[in-house]
A and B are shown apart, each in its own frame.
Chain A
Amino acid sequence: MSLTTLLVLADGRLPAGGHAHSGGLEAAVSSGRVRGMADLDGFLQGRLATAGVVTASFAAAACADPQRWRDLDAGLDARTPSPALRKASRAQGRALMRAGRILWPVPALDRPAAQRIAPHHPVVLGAVAHGAGLVPRDAAVAAAYGTLTGPATAGVRLLGLDPFGAHALLAGLAGACDRIADEAAARAGDPVDTLPAAGAPLLDIGAEQHATWEVRLFAS
């Protein structure tokens, strides 16, 4: 594997649609649950322990064997009760697929033409990592870290938080990301039904409300 390739894939500036998603932070800010840096820290920890773990596991599994993508995709549907979040995940999957296929020889994950709907983002991330010559642990670490960068940046934009402080939170979570990625890589071949299924009901509810807003700065 190439470390630089992993950096390219995990770079927040990769034009793969991520900048328009706050990972649920916009809803949490508006409902008053996240007001400052300490709240953002808690939000990021919670997100990493739930969405981060699931995303990392599915990205690792898809990287290990992209041919399993349909099962993995169905598994993610089952783990994503909020229709708004399913839509957001598929939108990011579509964008990452577009970007990834221009960068690397990524295997096609095509449904029959009649139902052309993009796979979930973690599945695409795994497949793109595979195409880039990366290993499941790389895919998992990019996935886990990627669940944090969106909300951290959104916190800077929505609350005017100190960008150094927000990045310090990310740096502080590096060890946790690494552990999650190790675990995800170790279980990359497990059956879909036994992969992690941690949920965050408040994020699901927030996402459903967010989708109905008239003025919305982030897509999710």
Chain B
Amino acid sequence: MVQHPEAQAPGPATDAVRHSHGPGIAGQQPVVHAHGPDEVPHTHPDPAVDPHEPLLHGPRALRVGIGGPVGSGKTALVAALCRALGTRLRLAVVTNDIYTTEDADFLLRNGVLPAERIRAVETGCCPHTAIRDDISANLDAVEDLESSLGPLDLVLVESGGDNLTATFSKGLIDRQIFVVDVAGGDKVPRKGGPGVTTADLLVINKTDLAPLVGADLSVMDRDARARRGELPTVFLSLTQDRAATPVADWIRTLVAGSQHATTG
């Protein structure tokens, strides 16, 4: 959508741009209308009508994608983030689960998010297509949430469980988190793949299970560093840290940054 300069936050009007295209006081003509000396002469045939669509809700929500293999803890992470951030931030969730109400039910049961803040989309047997190649259904879901709930600070998009190559399109999300678990073996970071290698944050979940499956966390840490360079990786056990503290902190920083960037 093209944003009309006048639709931006009001700032001090300079002489050259002092205009009023608004309706003014009811029943009266618009008041001020000075054109600067360097302006192309023009008229305003319908001064009371702003031809531009109103900006619905100012700056748009930060969108964070959460991907990773089946069962790695994506929904558990979403629930933890809702718990940690839900009271401070206006947030909503889009899920791509095949069981259309499973994730929503889980979030409801755990009392972390009311139903109207959750939307499910079908992925036509192709979870990665829905988050990467054809993001239409997910965009619709995000837009519907924003138009029914009003301005939001954060939208979490949980992908369907997929393999290590599934990543989100930048047309859908601003940042992405990739969740793997130690139960899949300490080889996972070494295998790499776009999810592990390029995600903005890699979460290695279920560290509580490491001793049970003989996974060496230091190996995972070393391999993740090798694969990811400067990109951050955090270890997590959602059964022990029900607020997913390191991830919630990472998101808080992002939200603060994005709000600063769009309003400041």
Contact = CB atoms under 8 A, between A and B. Distances in A.
Nearest to B120: A216
Contact of A216 (B122, B129, B134, B139): B122
B136 A17 contact: yes
Contacts of A219: 121-122, 124, 137
B136 A158 contact: no
A141 B2 CA distance: 33
B135 interface: yes
B251 interface: no
B134 A215 contact: no
A212 to B, nearest CB: 10
A98 B129 CA distance: 17
Given A19-B129, A20-B130, A217 B136 contact: no
Nearest to A218: B124
B123 A20 contact: yes
A99 B98 contact: no
A99 B136 contact: yes
Q: Is the interface of B mostly helix, strand, loop or mixed?
A: loop
* Size band of the interface chain B makes with A: 10 to 19
A113 to B, nearest CB: 8
A219 B129 CA distance: 14
Contacts of A216: 98, 100, 122
Interface in B125-143: 125-126, 129-130, 133-137, 139-140
B250 interface: no
A94 B142 CA distance: 14
B65 to A, nearest CB: 16
Interface string A9-44: 000010111111110000000000000000000000
Given A215-B98, A216-B98, A217-B98, A15 B124 contact: no
B101 interface: yes
A85 interface: no
Nearest to B147: A116
A157 interface: yes
B123 A217 contact: yes
Interface string A63-95: 000000000000000000000000000010011
B121 A20 contact: yes
A95 B136 contact: yes
B137 A95 contact: yes
B162 to A, nearest CB: 14
Q: Which 8 residue pairs spanning A and B have beta carbons closest together?
A: A17-B136, A95-B136, A20-B124, A15-B134, A219-B122, A157-B125, A19-B124, A217-B125
Given A20-B124, A99-B136, 19 more contacts: A15-B134, A17-B137, A19-B126, A19-B130, A19-B134, A20-B121, A20-B122, A20-B123, A20-B130, A20-B137, A94-B140, A95-B137, A98-B139, A157-B124, A158-B125, A214-B100, A215-B100, A217-B124, A218-B124
Interface of A: 13, 15-22, 91, 94-95, 98-99, 154, 157-158, 213-219
